[in-house]
Structure 1
Amino acid sequence: MESATNEERTDRENRWVEEIREGRKEGFEALYRFYYPRLCQFVFRYVKSKATAEDVVHNVFHKVWKNRKGLKANGKLRAYLYTAVRNESFKHLNQRKRDAFAELDDLTFLESREVSPEEEINGKEFKQAVQTAIDKLPDRRRDVFLMSREDHLTYREIAEVLGISIKTVETQISRSLKHLRQELSHFISSEGISI
């Protein structure tokens, strides 16, 4: 379903919104099944806990259902969901900072993400080098890059979620790729890998 065109995705999401507004759970369940894993992965990057990421995403979906009458079929559902979970993540992190007795589970990685067969082929060393290079990016640049490459958001959607211009998104992606090429130059030249 990830290979759908933007127009197809927008049409599908608009149908879901209409069904949700009408109180039909089928639309909500379809939306939930489609976005829940993607949003959990996105939130995990902020909260560093699988359980907390799931809670944050569940809370956002609960609010979507509770406030379903206010949903609009305007083609911006994806950006809305990513913005909502990002804001909810920040609220959670701020609350955790204020809470002197936060559970240790909220402070550690509970589970690493599943590795695809393609990633295994590339090898552990290369994957580690890529992750290290991405981790070296400034926070905003890393967020933009990961939203584009892992979450498959369009530049326009990234701009909306982060409140920046599309040109800024383009610049951040370009600088990220330049950084990765430099950091991974020994892999690129010896393995013939392109970035």
Structure 2
Amino acid sequence: MEKINALKTGSDVAFKAVFESSWEKVYRYLVNKTRDADQAKDLTQLVFIKLWTYRISLSDEIPLDTQIFRKTKQVLIDWLRAEMRKREYIFSNSPEATDSSWDQINHQTDITNHLYWAIDKLPPKRKEIFELRHIQGYSYKEIAEKLGISTKTIDSQLVKANIQLRKILQLSIWAAITGSGFLN
């Protein structure tokens, strides 16, 4: 908590201490995910730039390591999205782009759209719990504190969400195979 307060007040010493104690962990995670040491260095630097830039918004109630990891995941997600946009741009401007290449991109887009569509079909509270856990990366304890419910309730809702999503997605796959227009 002291580190967080020191960061919030703009302490260079606190930031340096946090950077030195966390950069290697962040870097290793990003190397593992990107499989590119140079890119991981750039992304690690971006994580700490964002940490400094948005230091005022740090929470006193969530451990600093957790907040750094969330920033790391968000930087990674942003990078992955940008990489996807680059690939789509290159594909769209490449004379070598074939119909089967476009079919593959469209198939991936369809899968993503089906997943978001299925998540939207969850009951509101279950959807909120699912998104907090799997999209925003909150722990069970953090979700429990945020929503004022027990971790057992969270576990139960996530199990139900997974079952419901599996059923919805199986139906949409069946509809796609049979051409029955289930999603329309």
Q: TM-score range by the shorter chain?
A: 0.3 to 0.5
Q: Which has the higher helix share?
A: 2
TM-score computed with the length of structure 2 as normaliser = 0.47
TM-score computed with the length of structure 1 as normaliser = 0.44
